[in-house]
Structure 1
């Protein structure tokens, strides 16, 4: 019987939570998982929502359970698994039936799949979904990519299940092909940088100020009541005050300092290089995660050179650290939006920067009180770098001293703050009218006769290097 409004493949954590969310919002859904036992277990645990869920044990049964024209969400691991699932599913579908990849796909893969679907004359969407398990269950942020007509077809379901900010759904169409997955990748890059900067400030309090985890948690809790109010600050407070039930020690003190990653941050950094967009805070965050994995080498370095002096001389206050984090956060978001703007121009997507900021206000991992003001600033001047918007320029003017003092004192004490330091360097370069790139141009012309522009616009595009070149 085909009475489901939509289908879903892949009942891992995210897929299962998304299916329950869809059912809870009143849409009958058919589900399938490669492992039948997982499907049965999911259906058995659906409780009051079971009446709106049709568990199926074959792809044929899944397709038969959905009302045409069908829409089926894929929640499977990014990469070859998506292509394999599409290849298995597409022969069972009609020409108007839509496949929606809602996993963490590389947008280049989404571009390819969208092109294949367009050539075959069948609808396909690639949507970025952010919010983790809680977001998937109660309201994620959704970034759609593909034909606008395809988005409009399923928008009533996607907007219904999305997070809401003052009644507005945090779900919208970003553009053609892989636009949605690209925006999600940049979201994750910002997430990496935001998390890294918070971790750096945690390290300053722990190693430079000798504060214990519970005291640090109270600081984060206080900051979450002010300008820094955000999901990541909120959970940083929560994890700081948590206690390990096994040892009774602070939970943070028993967690190994080797951070995991799924690759989306690296994709963002790689694409920024291709686009010539500078996102040093995000690059530093990815680098820091990579170095965290090299635990044995870090221990060897400490054995050879000795642990860096950690205690700060007392010149930094918690208020200064708060200002450093405010400045770092603004700079990291400014870099992320500049990357989106560069991609929009390069790929012809016309990515809606104000709408992106609004979609990120709730549901996603980087949701923050600042995003309302960012949406307003981008509405006023979408082509202007966010750090130059009057609201954020004023914030930076007052907070940059805290960032500068924090980076300087940490450098003296040997406390690594790569994301904060990279953000500060970017800020200083972005406000330097005459940079040192003239030296680089002279060097390039000397060894390779690459030429240069003159500040007076006059003739002579090469230097008087003569035989020295």
Structure 2
């Protein structure tokens, strides 16, 4: 007998957490994992929620356990595994059944699957917040047909995180791959936010000589102000933690080689296709790639000189620099989303995206409330031009300049903060230097140019001069 409101395939860390969240919110859920022992263990460990969980041992059993028209969430690895699972479901589902890919999919794959003529309905959905978010309230970004989202909106809004005003952090972003695109940019911003915090951490540690405990106190203080956010909060926590084996600060025992799953790289690549400048995110991806080259870095230090030198910067100055960097990074991310909306015809709602990111996701922060308000006032305007953020940048920019200049002079690697500053200076320069580039292009390729006086003479007088 059909009894479940929804189904879920894939009981890994994220899938299991999401299934428990759904059950806890009162929705009976049927679950299936390709390894039957995993399914049984999950159901056995569900405690009081087990009464709302229907464990199944075959895909056919899963389909039979869900009330039609069925909705099934896929929580399987991105790529071929999703296509294989869709193919396995095809002979079992009806045309009005709905499959929801809630993994970390490439939005191009989601758009391709949406257009492929699947024999059932299909929805792409970005889910952010890690295991904790999946279990207790993630941010959810849907992409697909309005009617398909409406069919599961009650479940998604029930399990989503809640902002301080009680609004669920779940919404349909747009058609096809829009949800996974917004999730991808979220992850790119996450890379950049983490990198900027790490750069400031390096200045506190190596520039000012603070130990981990003092750095933790600094982060905790910053989390009471404009920088209040999940990433600053956990930075205070991890820098305060002690290693159970040595008693030393845990953060000092961790090798400085950062991992990545690729979504930041996707963001950087897609930005190039969209001609959307996101240098802070690109710098963060570069920094992770450089961090992986530990042997080369050690050889470089041995060859070119000592590690970064002391750098006298006040904590208040570093706080303001980080505020400026955060605004510049988010401004670039929202501008990229705007460019994609125009390119793909998605009509993405920038204020709504900011509101969805206010809770549940990794980049949640108090500043997103003001960003949502600024984007609602004029979604076509770059965020740095909004009066609230323009005033904040005016206040914070001298600190960012001081941090980048003094940090660089002392040999500190500050790629994300410096990239943000250079982008800002480009954005505030009415007459730059691209006129020389256009002259060069015309010289070697007769590409032409526009004149400042409007004359219709698109080539220079240098023909035959070399």
Bin the TM-score by the shorter chain: over 0.9
The residue aligned with 1:203 is 202
Tell me if 1:134 matches 2:157.
Answer: no
Equivalent residues in 2 for 1:426-441 (5 A)? 426-441=423-438
Please report the TM-score for the alignment, with normalisation by the length of structure 2: 0.99
Cα deviation, residue 237, structure 1:
0.3
Instruction: Tell me: CA distance 1:2–1:412, structure 2 relative to 1, closer, same or farther (3 Å).
Output: same
State the alpha-carbon separation in 2 of the partners of residues 449 and 328 from structure 1: 39
Tell me if 1:123 matches 2:124.
Answer: no
Cα deviation, residue 121, structure 1:
5.4
Tell me if 1:39 matches 2:36.
Answer: no
Instruction: Tell me: CA distance 1:182–1:33, structure 2 relative to 1, closer, same or farther (3 Å).
Output: same
State the alpha-carbon separation in 2 of the partners of residues 371 and 334 from structure 1: 11
The residue aligned with 2:422 is 425
The residue aligned with 1:387 is 384
The residue aligned with 2:220 is 221
* 8 Å contact from structure 2 (residues 94, 119) kept in 1: no
The residue aligned with 2:345 is 348
The residue aligned with 1:455 is 452
CA deviation profile, 1:51-101 (whole Å, cap 9, x unmatched) = 000011111111111001000000011111111111111211111111000
* Range that drifts further, 408-417 or 300-309: 300-309
The residue aligned with 2:69 is 69
How large is the Cα RMSD of the aligned pairs?
0.8
3-state SS in 2 of match to 1:467: coil
State the alpha-carbon separation in 2 of the partners of residues 262 and 381 from structure 1: 34
Tell me if 1:100 matches 2:97.
Answer: no
State the alpha-carbon separation in 1 of the partners of residues 436 and 27 from structure 2: 63
3-state SS in 1 of match to 2:233: helix
State the alpha-carbon separation in 2 of the partners of residues 459 and 274 from structure 1: 31
State the alpha-carbon separation in 1 of the partners of residues 146 and 387 from structure 2: 34
Tell me if 1:358 matches 2:355.
Answer: yes
The residue aligned with 1:328 is 325
State the alpha-carbon separation in 2 of the partners of residues 217 and 6 from structure 1: 43
State the alpha-carbon separation in 2 of the partners of residues 39 and 48 from structure 1: 16
* 8 Å contact from structure 1 (residues 310, 415) kept in 2: yes
Cα deviation, residue 305, structure 1:
1.0
3-state SS in 2 of match to 1:100: strand
Cα deviation, residue 120, structure 1:
4.0
3-state SS in 1 of match to 2:26: coil
CA deviation profile, 1:339-393 (whole Å, cap 9, x unmatched) = 0000000000000000000000000000000000000000000000000000000
Cα deviation, residue 338, structure 1:
0.2
The residue aligned with 2:162 is 164
State the alpha-carbon separation in 2 of the partners of residues 273 and 351 from structure 1: 19
CA deviation profile, 1:167-219 (whole Å, cap 9, x unmatched) = 11100011100000000000000000000000000000001011111110000
Tell me if 1:153 matches 2:151.
Answer: yes
State the alpha-carbon separation in 2 of the partners of residues 56 and 265 from structure 1: 36
Please report the TM-score for the alignment, with normalisation by the length of structure 1: 0.98
State the alpha-carbon separation in 2 of the partners of residues 238 and 34 from structure 1: 37
The residue aligned with 1:81 is 81
Tell me if 1:397 matches 2:386.
Answer: no
Tell me if 1:373 matches 2:356.
Answer: no
* 8 Å contact from structure 2 (residues 99, 121) kept in 1: yes
* 8 Å contact from structure 1 (residues 446, 468) kept in 2: no
The residue aligned with 1:304 is 303
State the alpha-carbon separation in 1 of the partners of residues 219 and 333 from structure 2: 24
The residue aligned with 1:407 is 404
Gaps of 5+ in 1: none
Cα deviation, residue 28, structure 1:
0.0
State the alpha-carbon separation in 2 of the partners of residues 236 and 430 from structure 1: 31
3-state SS in 1 of match to 2:288: helix
Aligned length: 465
* Range that drifts further, 421-430 or 296-305: 296-305
State the alpha-carbon separation in 2 of the partners of residues 22 and 307 from structure 1: 54
State the alpha-carbon separation in 1 of the partners of residues 126 and 208 from structure 2: 40
Tell me if 1:262 matches 2:235.
Answer: no
Instruction: Tell me: CA distance 1:363–1:309, structure 2 relative to 1, closer, same or farther (3 Å).
Output: closer
Moved over 3 A (4+): none
* 8 Å contact from structure 1 (residues 25, 160) kept in 2: yes
State the alpha-carbon separation in 2 of the partners of residues 380 and 57 from structure 1: 52
3-state SS in 2 of match to 1:8: strand
Gaps of 5+ in 2: none
* Range that drifts further, 164-173 or 340-349: 164-173
* 8 Å contact from structure 2 (residues 32, 39) kept in 1: yes
